[in-house]
Every structure is written in structure tokens, then in C-alpha cells.
């Protein structure tokens, strides 16, 4: 029997409102494993954790466990796709690449597990809807967070150096965590001295004993985030607004904080441009595995290169974004989706669309009803004021309160409309891809291009001026079949011309594949001029 692990998760809200109990998830996953010939060797459970990101102890342990060859995991079984993630970037950027790299199947106990093009696209749709639901829930809870911030209480989890505690009345507050505050002060002081780079500072803190609360090394990005967090000065930032009435005790002075900010903005360092690049975070260096970063040259030319952050013998070769576009376009010319699959995708999208509309309408109807109640209260109170039955001060205080609540509810409606727009954009990308992948990519914007690459590719690397895309098996098969059809047609056409002219030709597909002017990517011939520069 093949080995499998189970992952289960509930957030406190889901457990209370929907009954997605851990025991129910585990039971259905175990039954699924037994029916399909899997032997469960380990179960990972995150209780009371949101899937908005991967900052969950058990999902981190699962990823580490699956990454070890000795554990020989063949499958990860989940109750439903949204249990493991409700974030497209986490799913496509971390989870899926790990499982695919290790040859691990991600299997749902309650949803279809179809290893076909429509199955893969429907999993994309499912993940998009899971993210949509998460964002709608976030919109509903945002008003409460804003109210907490107005009262001077930080509405999120305390950063390193602080901890969240409960008062006697049950309310939450943030206090200094003496076990970690020392490292925060040390980090600011050492970086302010000018003797430490971020990399050296991270190593120094690790040598001095700084660990995460799970006992792991704190990465350089987290140390940099710490140094940029104004929270340590006794104020906090929430929704781009600085709250000076914060109730927590500062760890460092504002003078020290701003000196560190000046150091972080090094005038000798290339400043980041306020510019979105299509392929950042998607291409890895073939030498060291670092993700390629992008730079804007002369205000109009975009080049990608390895950062060299992991060391290694990197040549730091540059590649122009235009060349990347051309190569991807050539591959997409070979990915032609059959109409029957397009129809299946369309039918499934109709089902998801109806589900989304029902969910969205219920939420919006509830908000509109609350707005109407507040408007009625305002009208009734104003009538009482006109009749002299309530004082001006009472009217003003109540009116201000109700108007604020009404404004917050209207903001929630606006945010939900934005989420609806995002849903339609993602659905449009899937349909555009199935209609004509090449044309849609060629005319697409950055978001559309990135999504199409997520759909078709398993891994993208750049090494020795060679750009390589490893397609998912299903798209690899489609591309190879299409290429063979095109080559057979071209070969037959060449033979016809040769006969007419009275000459012989040996321009067979095999001869052309092996000719000096061509190289192979995923067994597909691609003109080397598109790969080298």
C-alpha cells in the first residue's frame, strides 16, 4: 500500500458555525484512504487556524515532513481543498510546487480527483472560490478590527517581542514578552551601528539564541520586517493609518527607529522601482535555486537575473522580458484545448458562479438590511429631535454613532463588490486560456500572464542563457501531439513540393529536431534564438 498523510484544519468560526469538526474530517479522510489503497502514516491538525496564509504550525510541519525523502509520502489527503489553503499565492507558489517536485498527490476526500486538464483547471477554480470566501469573511470582520484599533488596541497578533494576553474581564491586550524583547533591542542597535548587513545581523541573532516560537531559525526577511515595524516605538499602523493612542509599551525610541529606516534606505543601493514585473517570483536560477529578480533599465527595458542570495557559482546572466514573452508564446501556440474540455470547464464555472452569487447575495442582503435599520433609527431620532422629545447632544451622539456604523457597512458592500470583480477576472482568464491560450497570453496583462503560467507550468528555470519551462504532464502531452501534427503536415507538404520540382528531401521531424539550429525544452523543439542572447 502507498503511504499517505492526512491534513485537517478548522478555524474557530467554521467550527462554531458550520460543524467542520476535526473528527469528521479525519474520519472521512481515513475512509477515503482505505477505499483507495493508502496507508495513513501521520495526521497533521491545525485547530483554530485561518488558511489565509501558511503561518500555521502543522502545515509547516507537513511541508517539512513531505520534503524529506526518507518519509516516502505518496499522497496528502484533505477533506476539502480549502482546508489546506484559501490563498492562491500560497497554493500555487509553495504547496503545489512542493508536492509536484516530490511526486506527491494532493487528494480530496469529498471532491473530484481527476488527473486531466479539466480537473487541473477546476482545482484552480476551486481555489479561487475558497479565496473569495475567505476575503468576504475578512470584510465582515474588518469593522470589528477598526473599532479595536480606534480604542488603541492592536487588532492583530502581536509581533515578536510582544505577546497577546487576556485581562480579567476577558478582553485582549498586548504586553512586552521579556524573552524576546532583548533580541528586538539588539537587532535595532546592531543594525544602527552600521557594522551589520541584514544577512550578518540575522546570523548574529541566531547565534545569540533567537528562535521562532516553534524553535526554528528566523529568516532574514522576518528580521527586515521587524526593523521596519513602527509598532516597537509605542504606536501601530493599521490600514495605512498610524494610531498614536496605542496602549502597548514601546521597546525602542522613535529616534532609533528612524535612524534604522534611513540605513535600510541605502543611497548606494539600487532603489526598487514602483513597477510591477510579470515574472517575479516565478523563475528560478538553474545554478542555486534563487528566484530571479527584475530591474527596469533606461526606464523601459525589463531584465531578469539571479539575486545570488543562496551563494553558489551563479553567472548572474540577464534575460530580457521580451525574450521570455516570445518563448512562452511559442509554447502556447502548441497548447490547443479541445472544445469538449472547454465546454466542461464552462459548465463547472456556471455551477461555481451560481454558488458564488448565492453566497454573495446572502451576505449583501444582510448588510443592506442592517443599513436600513440604521437609517430608520436616524429618521426616527431626528423626528423626536424636531418634536423636542430628545436633546441636541443626545441626537448628535447617536446620529454620529449610527452614521459611522452605516459608513462601515457601505464600505463592506464596496469590498464585496471588489471581490466579485476579482472572481470574474479569474474566471475570464480560465475561459480565455481554454479558447486560445496563445492569443490570450499575447494580449494579456501582467495578472493574466502570471495566471496562465501557473496553469501550465511545473517549474521555470534559467541557466547558461537557456530558459526552460517544465510543463505539467497534461499540457506536455497536448503540446507534443500538436507539434507532431504540425510537423507531419509540414513534412508531407515538403514532399509534395519536392516531387513537383523533381528533387528529393529528407526534412523529417526527427532530422529537424536533431539539427544544430534547434534545442529541446520538455522534448519540444524551440528555436534556439529565442533561448540565447
Pick from 274, 305, 277, 312: which is nearest to 291 by CA?
Answer: 305
Active site residue 11: yes
Whole-angstrom Cα distance, residue 240 to residue 261? 17
* H or E element in which residue 51 lies: none
Q: What are phi and psi of 506, to 5 degrees?
A: -125, 35
Q: Which three cell numbers stand for residue 441?
A: 497570453
8-state DSSP, 291: B
Q: Provide the phi-psi class of 226: left if phi over 0, else alpha when psi is between -120 and 50, else beta.
A: alpha
CA distance 511 to 495: 14
Cα–Cα distance, 90 to 281 (Å, whole number): 12
Q: Where are the beta strands (DSSP E) in 16-171?
A: 38-47, 75-78, 105-108, 162-166
Question: Measured in whole angstroms, how far is the alpha carbon of residue 358 from the centre of its chain?
Answer: 26
**Cell triple for 496:** 509534395
Alpha-carbon distance of 494 to 504, in angstroms, equals 9
Cα–Cα dist 166/287, whole Å: 50
Which residue, 466, 522, 457, 512, is CA-closest to 486?
512
Q: Compute CA distances 277 → 13, 43, 258, 327, 496, whole Å.
A: 37, 39, 30, 17, 47
User: CA 449 to CA 327: how far, in whole Å?
Assistant: 13
Is the Cα dihedral 190, 191, 196, 197 positive or negative?
A: positive
Strand-pair category, 524-527 with 518-521: antiparallel
d(CA 235, CA 253): 11
Strand partners, 5: 42, 76
- The pair phi, psi for residue 168, each rounded to 5°, is -65, -30
Q: Which of 11, 108, 128, 457 is catalytic?
A: 11
The 3-state DSSP class for residue 319 equals strand
Among residues 442, 457, 451, the alpha carbon closest in space to that of 325 is found at 442
Output the CA torsion 4→469→116→61 (10° steps): 20
C-beta separation of 416 from 136 below 8 A: yes
Which are the catalytic amino acids?
Answer: 11
Amino acid at each position: 500500500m502507498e503511504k499517505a498523510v492526512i491534513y485537517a484544519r478548522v478555524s474557530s468560526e467554521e467550527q462554531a458555525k458550520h460543524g467542520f469538526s476535526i473528527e469528521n474530517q479525519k474520519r472521512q479522510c481515513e475512509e477515503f484512504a482505505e477505499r483507495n489503497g493508502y496507508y495513513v502514516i501521520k495526521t497533521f491538525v491545525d485547530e483554530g487556524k485561518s488558511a489565509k496564509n501558511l503561518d500555521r504550525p502543522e502545515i509547516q510541519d507537513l511541508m517539512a515532513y513531505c520534503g524529506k525523502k526518507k518519509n516516502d509520502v505518496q499522497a496528502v489527503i484533505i477533506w476539502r481543498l480549502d482546508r489546506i489553503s484559501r490563498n492562491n499565492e500560497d497554493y500555487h507558489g509553495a504547496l503545489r510546487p512542493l508536492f509536484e517536485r516530490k511526486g506527491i498527490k494532493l487528494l480530496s476526500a469529498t471532491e473530484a480527483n481527476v488527473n486531466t486538464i479539466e480537473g487541473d483547471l477546476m482545482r484552480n477554480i476551486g481555489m479561487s472560490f475558497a479565496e473569495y470566501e475567505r476575503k468576504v469573511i475578512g470584510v465582515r470582520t474588518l469593522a470589528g478590527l477598526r473599532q479595536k484599533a480606534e480604542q488603541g488596541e492592536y487588532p492583530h497578533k502581536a509581533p515578536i517581542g510582544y505577546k497577546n494576553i487576556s485581562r480579567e474581564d476577558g478582553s485582549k491586550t498586548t504586553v512586552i514578552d521579556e524573552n524576546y524583547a532583548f533580541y528586538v533591542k539588539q537587532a535595532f542597535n546592531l543594525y544602527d551601528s552600521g557594522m551589520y548587513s541584514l544577512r550578518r545581523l540575522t546570523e548574529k541573532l541566531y547565534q545569540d539564541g533567537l528562535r521562532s516560537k516553534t524553535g526554528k531559525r528566523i529568516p532574514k526577511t522576518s528580521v527586515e520586517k521587524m526593523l521596519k515595524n513602527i509598532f516597537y516605538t509605542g504606536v501601530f499602523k493599521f490600514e495605512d493609518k498610524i494610531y498614536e493612542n496605542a496602549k502597548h509599551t514601546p521597546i525602542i525610541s522613535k529616534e532609533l527607529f528612524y535612524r534604522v529606516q534611513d540605513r535600510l534606505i541605502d543611497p548606494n543601493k539600487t532603489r526598487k522601482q514602483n513597477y510591477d514585473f510579470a515574472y517575479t517570483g516565478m523563475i528560478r536560477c538553474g545554478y542555486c535555486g534563487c528566484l530571479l529578480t527584475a530591474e527596469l533599465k533606461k526606464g523601459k527595458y525589463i531584465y531578469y537575473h539571479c539575486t545570488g542570495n543562496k551563494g553558489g557559482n551563479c553567472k548572474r546572466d540577464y534575460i530580457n522580458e521580451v525574450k521570455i514573452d516570445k518563448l512562452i508564446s511559442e509554447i502556447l501556440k502548441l497548447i490547443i484545448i479541445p472544445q469538449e474540455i472547454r465546454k466542461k470547464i464552462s459548465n463547472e464555472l456556471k455551477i461555481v458562479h451560481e454558488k458564488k452569487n448565492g453566497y454573495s447575495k446572502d451576505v449583501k442582503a444582510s448588510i443592506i438590511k442592517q443599513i436600513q435599520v440604521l437609517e430608520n433609527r436616524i429618521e426616527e431620532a431626528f423626528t423626536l429631535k424636531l418634536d423636542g422629545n430628545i436633546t441636541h447632544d443626545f441626537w448628535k451622539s447617536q446620529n454620529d454613532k449610527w452614521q459611522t456604523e452605516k459608513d462601515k457597512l457601505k464600505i463592506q458592500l464596496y469590498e464585496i463588490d471588489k471581490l466579485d470583480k476579482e472572481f470574474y477576472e479569474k474566471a475570464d482568464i480560465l475561459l480565455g486560456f481554454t479558447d486560445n491560450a496563445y492569443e490570450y497570453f499575447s494580449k494579456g496583462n501582467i495578472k493574466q500572464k502570471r495566471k496562465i503560467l501557473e496553469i501550465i507550468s511545473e517549474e521555470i528555470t534559467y541557466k547558461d542563457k537557456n530558459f526552460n519551462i517544465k510543463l505539467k504532464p497534461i499540457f506536455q502531452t497536448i503540446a507534443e501531439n500538436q507539434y507532431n501534427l504540425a510537423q507531419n503536415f509540414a513534412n508531407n507538404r515538403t514532399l509534395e513540393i519536392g516531387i513537383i520540382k523533381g528533387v528529393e528531401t529528407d526534412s523529417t521531424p526527427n532530422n529537424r529536431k536533431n539539427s544544430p539550429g534547434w534545442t529541446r525544452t520538455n522534448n519540444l523543439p524551440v528555436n534556439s534564438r529565442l533561448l540565447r542572447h
